[in-house]
Amino acid sequence: MQLSNEHRFIRECLALNPSPAFGATLQPLITPTLDWQKIIDAAAWHGVAPLMYRNLKSVDSGGHVPADFLAGLKRLYHDNLMRNMVLEALLGRVLTQFRARQVDCIVLKGMALAKLAYGDTALRPMGDIDLLVRRDDLTRAESALIDMGFELDGAVERDWALQHHYELAYGVPGQDVLIDLHWHISHHRLATRVQIADDTLINAWWTRTRPFVVADQEARTLGPADTLFHLCQHFLKSRFAMSRLGFVSTGGLIQLCDIANVARGEQNHLDWSQLKHDTAAYRMDSLTGAVMALAMTTVPGGISEIPLDAQPMFEPSTEDQNMVNLIGECLFNRDDAASPLTRAGFGAMGGESVRERMTNLVSIIFPAKAWLAQRFGVAPGADKIYWYYLVYPFIWLGKRKRLRRHLIRIKNEAALKRWIGDPD
């Protein structure tokens, strides 16, 4: 994987338990041209700024890590810590209300991972609180949230969500807090290769939960093998969650950290045979193996992740491994970067419609004979002019590296969407 020094710097800072050689590993990457603002922006985009700050604050970098860069990471670390403290207290109140109404729930992802996989609430950013409840308990769970002042998020109609989705979002007006009530983790509108259409797996998860402590009270979360399956499926699902925007990279690195930390931290407690059985039942064993391999190669670790006797269970196909590796490369292409082939880029080409703008683009790449003749100093009627019709598009693209990068990106995204079975 070809990465810039900025991205390599970020990757070296992802270990949950950095090796003694961590500081020395960073030294060759710290050059006068290193873009520290690019690093901090990407770290925030991927949700790894708190982890990076924890790892960098005490490392001996020879004084080459700028103080203002560390100060910026520190602000993100403390902002995340304060937000997570608020979310943890809120989760405690929700659990109390659910318990009073005899609503069982499973805490998914963020808060459970912060406690069990990271051991530090400050290290794992959380956009919201994800709770899995039984379908039969959904109405009582909603009632509990409404009594606490929550309102259904108006982005999705409830009746539509119950039929076509797998979660409902509740928030408090004026506050940046959402609680996502899940009764499933998948629906028929997802990419076909990450769909889990029935309730068999979810019903099994309910029988294999484990306890953990949050907000000074006991809660339940998924068992280690079920957690790993869910994280791998969620990682792929998230990459294509907003298919109209193309490939989605935001949060990708912290999700790979989640997978690596669960696999490494729970490797002696994971029921690998169960994980193989469940992933194979939904034809996701090859995908799961490929995503785990990507996580282990992206996140520094230093210990064996999968026992030798279990490794053959998760041998991905060549295509799956290649495509998941491509996802790993695409993660570092921030998808908030404007493409010259979309939105404002098309506007700069003139024309009222996409068709008109594409026509204008073609006229730019393949100009009139007279223009080519003047540009290259040949007679308009010379046979050589046709040679320049072949050559000029490459010259034009070569001078527009940004456009060329986006063309490659569009090609890669199209290949990924075909591979994952994206319905859009």
In a domain, 275, yes or no: yes
Q: Are residues 84 and 113 in the same domain?
A: yes
Closest among 58, 126, 70, 134 to 101, alpha carbons compared: 134
Domain range enclosing 89: 74-330
Q: How many CA atoms lie within 13 A of 292 on its CB side?
A: 28
- What pTM, to 2 d.p., does this model score? 0.84
In a domain? residue 150: yes
Residues 253 and 307 in one domain: yes
- Comparing 57 with 244, which gets the higher pLDDT? 57
Judge whether 366 and 397 are in contact, CB under 8 Å.
no
The total number of structural domains in the chain stands at: 2
Q: With 60 as the cut, is the pLDDT of residue 104 above it?
A: yes
Query: Is the confidence at residue 344, as pLDDT, over 50?
Result: no
Residue 197 lies in a domain: yes
Q: Choose one of 330, 365, 387: the last residue of a domain.
A: 330
Residues 243 and 389 in one domain: no
| Alpha helix (H) residue ranges in 137-197 | 138-147, 158-164
Same structural domain, 364 and 221: no
CB 172 within 8 A of CB 150: yes
Assigned domain for 418 exists: no
The predicted structure's pLDDT at residue 20: 87
Are residues 183 and 127 part of one domain?
yes
On whether both 271 and 368 belong to a single domain, the answer is no
Q: Are 50 and 33 in contact (CB under 8 A)?
A: no
d(CA 94, CA 179) in angstroms, rounded, equals 10
**325 plus 376 within the same structural domain:** no
Euclidean distance between CA atoms 50 and 48, whole angstroms: 6
Do 356 and 290 belong together in one domain? no
pLDDT of amino acid 311: 73
Q: Residue 355 falls within a domain, yes or no?
A: yes
At 257-292, the pLDDT tens digits run: 999 999 999 888 899 999 999 999 999 999 999 999
Residue 186 CA to residue 313 CA, distance in Å, equals 24
- Is 270 a member of any domain? yes
pLDDT tens digits along 369-399:
777 777 788 887 788 888 888 887 777 666 6
224-239 vs 252-265: helix crossing angle, rounded to 10: 160
Please indicate, yes or no, whether residues 257 and 191 belong to a single structural domain of this protein.
yes
Tell whether 87 and 220 lie within a shared domain: yes
Q: What is the mean pLDDT of the chain?
A: 86
Q: What is the pLDDT of residues 204-257, one digit of tens each?
A: 999 999 999 999 999 999 999 999 999 999 999 998 865 455 678 899 999 999
Q: For residue 65, is pLDDT > 70?
A: yes
247 SS3 class: coil
pLDDT band at 143 (very low <50, low <70, confident <90, very high): very high
Does residue 420 lie in a domain region? no
Could you tell me if residue 303 is inside a domain? yes
What is the CATH classification number for the domain harbouring 255? 3.30.460.40
Residues 112 and 144 in one domain: yes
Least Cα distance to 192 among 410, 413, 419 occurs for: 419
What pLDDT does residue 36 have? 95
Judge whether 253 and 10 are in contact, CB under 8 Å: yes
